Amino acid sequence: MPTAEPAAFPVTAAPSAESLEGRDVLTLADFTGAELRAILDRAHQLKDLQRRREPHRWLEGRTLAMIFEKPSLRTRCTFETGMTQLGGHAIDLASEHMQMGSRESVPDVARNLERWVDAIMARVYLHATVVTLAQHASVPVINGLSDYSHPCQIMADLMTVEEWKGSLQGLKISYVGDGFNIANSLLFAAGALGLELHIATPPDYEPREDVVTRARRAARQTGARIEVYHDPRAAADGAEVIYTDSWISMGQESERADRLRVFPPYQVNGALVSLARPEVMVMHCLPAHRGEEITDEVMDGRHSAVFDQAENRLHTQKAILTLVMKGR
């Protein structure tokens, strides 16, 4: 299913950071730095409880509906496992059963689900789909991935950086590759939290201009440094974090031949990593196309944090679930 260029989605007005109860999680642009910090703190707390095998069934009796238009390994497993560990239940609504948008309209799906469940997670092609779900459902809607934003992934990534580096502040974080949903969400997070973010993409594959503008607007308040350019070596030079993503995302398969001609200089390989700091961490949100955007040498090497990121999807999503459903 092809993706479409979404509109410049409005930022939701944010209440105080003291409570995220009832909030939708569609894009990190909707959250303040204090609110993102609250999610990270809760995620670290929940991971510690899990490691110590201390029960934390904070969502006893709650139900999460999970909508999947796209295939999923990490999103499905981590949300379902997370709800189980929190004492709740997750329902997997596979696309072949729902046929959302054809058999039943998106608003009608939202109006049905809000009568039965306590929150909705949706992994979709078009960002407009999660926006519509949120507009018509009275329960929180969580974006499990869209063509515009991947907020849960970036929260897991920020948690992973804190574990490896001790802090998010003072680091040169560099993203090399396609300026798609991961790059968008990194921009929103960097702007809100006051981070230094460098994004290097091929010409014509930059992040959306409205996303960069919104991130830089936030940066004026937080002191973030945001740079977007085309030179992957400049991005890697002195970096403490190098992040990449697939060159061909789901829905872009028709562009494969063109992209494989354009993106090879942006491969994260030993030569690129050698330009970074000696203790650089390398990140990828997975699934990885080994030999394309990242080499085996790097992905399986000592700098790789990719499976830590995957693990932390569980903990950050549990944090989000407990906060928006007020599980404690």
Q: What is the largest CA-CA distance in the chain?
A: 54
Q: Which residues are the active-site residues?
A: 123, 150, 153, 245, 285, 313
Asked if 263 contacts 247 with a C-beta cutoff of 8 angstroms, the reply is yes
Q: In whole angstroms, what is the distance from residue 264 CA to residue 311 CA?
A: 29
CA dist 316 and 82 (Å) reads: 9
